Amino acid sequence: MVEDLRLDSLEGVGPVTTRKLSDAGVHNVMDLIVRGPVEISEITGMEKDTAEKIVNKARQHLVEGGLIAKDFVSASEIYKHRQSIGKITTGTNCLDTLFDGGIETQSLTEVYGEFGCGKTQFAHTLSVMVQKSKAEGGLDGGVLYIDTENTFRPERIVSIAQAHEMDPEKVLDRIVVARAYNSAHQTLILEEAGSIIEENNIKLIVVDSAVGLFRAEYLGRGTLSVRQQKLNHFVHLLSRIAETYDCAALATNQVMASPDVFFGDPTRPVGGNVVAHTSTYRIYFKKSGKKRIARMVDSPHHPEEEVIFALGEAGVMDIEEAEKKTKKTSKKETTKKSTTKKAKEPKVEAKVDTPEVEAKVDTPEVEAKVDTPEVEAKVEPMMDPEFDYEPIEE
């Protein structure tokens, strides 16, 4: 199959064109489809017509090889094809229900929400879960993790893997991390990802955050359209890669509730919407004390519903699981503390007979790292779950 995908397997593509293409980062037939004729002509300097011909040949080649769908297909063929789409379990019952089994390959899933709502934790969890066997809800695949905010933490992978009884070293080995330093670099990484995806049997591409660098670099009114254009290019590239290489793509997007929206029309398009138009699935994460709420916002076939989940050592977790764990921890802590802190903490002590209340008082993993109360207080009153876009920049 790899032989089939070589550029020179296309009729009329000789060594000169092959060289031109690979110099521009296009290494195989898949890459031709992913980049498309306009871009191919831009990056190689070849005529648009020529680029179109080559890309069409590439498409035909892949259709003949059964790797991509032909142009006209019956609904039943699409239905059959959809049955074969892979799903990655989230490792929780609640989020699997929301996603109807897990996040899909050949699709782009966008998770958005304010800081600390669990987007990165979710990305880490999926990076572990995708490695599980198909029988266990994974795809036995590797991960390409594009980290734009320097928040990828191997330690988190280790503890999530342990919580799911997987070998942490093996799990770490199958995650290829690419740290992106600016938006152009972030795009370049993706443009050149083809061979890495194939060589490592990548089934999940994470981009955390997809939007952050673009937002930071293109500030202010004058640059908004350039930013959107560049972001648009990136996001389309990501979804074409997901489709062509049969991977799941997960993009995170930090949004803030802005006081501005109360004065304008909250539904008018603002910056973050480029991603929304392209992603197949959009999920909104919201903080609710130590719990988190996930809502399926925009999906071609899921009902708009909400589930509650928690964050813990195992990454994203079902509430019941998280509470079981925290109960165990707090019981231990209560025994430890009871001799020394009795006099100081009469209120907590009084609650010892009601284990559920006690468990909620000391929830070190979940609660301890939750944002400082001042920050939380600043954000909560502005929150409106109906519209959580980034601040309007016009």
Ligand X SMILES: Nc1ncnc2c1ncn2[C@@H]1O[C@H](COP(=O)(O)OP(=O)(O)OP(=O)(O)O)[C@@H](O)[C@H]1O
Sign of the Cα torsion 213, 218, 224, 226 reads negative
Name, in order, each residue with C-beta under 8 angstroms of 113's C-beta and a sequence gap of 6 or more: 119, 254, 255, 284, 285, 286, 287, 388
| Longest CA span, the chain | 85
Read off φ and ψ for residue 207, nearest 5 degrees: -125, 105
Q: Which run of H or of E encompasses 224? A: helix 224-245
106 contacts ligand X (rule: CB under 6 A)? no
Binding mask 144-173 for ligand X (x = CB under 6 A): -------x----------------------
Interacting residues with ligand X between 331 and 390 (CB under 6 A): 365-366, 369-371
DSSP E strands in the chain: the ranges are 87-88, 103-104, 107-113, 142-147, 175-179, 202-208, 248-254, 281-288, 291-298, 306-312, 315-317
Closer residue to Mg ion (CB): 84 or 150: 150
105 contacts ligand X (rule: CB under 6 A)? no
Sign of the Cα torsion 382, 316, 169, 325 reads positive
118 contacts ligand X (rule: CB under 6 A)? yes
Closer residue to ligand X (CB): 99 or 152: 152
102 contacts ligand X (rule: CB under 6 A)? no
At closest approach, how far in Å is the CB of 209 from Mg ion? Answer: 6
Cα gap 381→394, rounded to integer Å:
23
159 contacts Mg ion (rule: CB under 5 A)? no
Closer residue to Mg ion (CB): 58 or 311: 311
At closest approach, how far in Å is the CB of 65 from ligand X? Answer: 39
Contact 112, 252 (CB under 8 A): yes
253 contacts Mg ion (rule: CB under 5 A)? no
The two structure tokens encoding residue 257? 């509730």
239 contacts Mg ion (rule: CB under 5 A)? no
Part of the chain binding ligand X (CB under 6 A), chosen from 80-88, 222-230, 309-317, 338-346: 309-317
120 contacts Mg ion (rule: CB under 5 A)? yes
Closer residue to ligand X (CB): 191 or 388: 388
Binding site for Mg ion (CB under 5 A): 119-120, 151
Binding site for ligand X (CB under 6 A): 113, 115-121, 151, 254, 311-313, 365-366, 369-371
